[in-house]
């Protein structure tokens, strides 16, 4: 028997904005490093900064999922997704 849990996804645009905020917070004075793409779908997930970002997301209860070339934030339920979105917008 396979048990599936309900999932909730936040859209790729939210993930992109969150990625930009995360990158900006890592650089002195909030200055963006132009070597990091603004679109998280174009970021290598093997890079040091992206691994730190995904570790932070995991600690916050989210996982990055790639579906049809787009990346989404997945949560176990809509309540967690809503609380996360309210906290980080």
Helix or strand holding residue 22 (H, E):
helix 12-26
- What's the half-sphere exposure (Cβ side, CA atoms, 13 Å) at 54? 17
Domain that holds residue 37: 8-88
The number of folded domains in the chain is 1
Residue 13 lies in a domain: yes
Burial of 62 (0-12, 13-18, 19+ CB in 10 A): buried
Per-residue pLDDT of the chain (89 residues; tens, 9 = 90+): 444 566 799 999 999 999 988 988 887 655 555 567 788 998 999 988 999 999 999 999 999 999 999 999 999 988 999 999 999 98
- Which 8-state DSSP code applies to residue 11? -
Residue 2 domain-assigned (yes or no): no
Model-level pTM?
Answer: 0.83
């Amino acid at each position: 028997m396979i048990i599936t849990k309900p999932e909730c996804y936040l859209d790729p645009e939210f993930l992109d904005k969150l990625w930009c905020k995360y990158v900006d917070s890592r650089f002195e004075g909030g200055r963006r490093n132009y070597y990091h793409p603004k679109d998280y779908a174009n970021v290598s997930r093997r890079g040091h900064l992206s691994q730190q970002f995904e570790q932070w997301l995991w600690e916050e209860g989210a996982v990055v999922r790639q579906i049809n070339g787009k990346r989404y934030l997945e949560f176990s339920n809509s309540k967690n997704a809503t609380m996360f979105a309210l906290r980080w917008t």
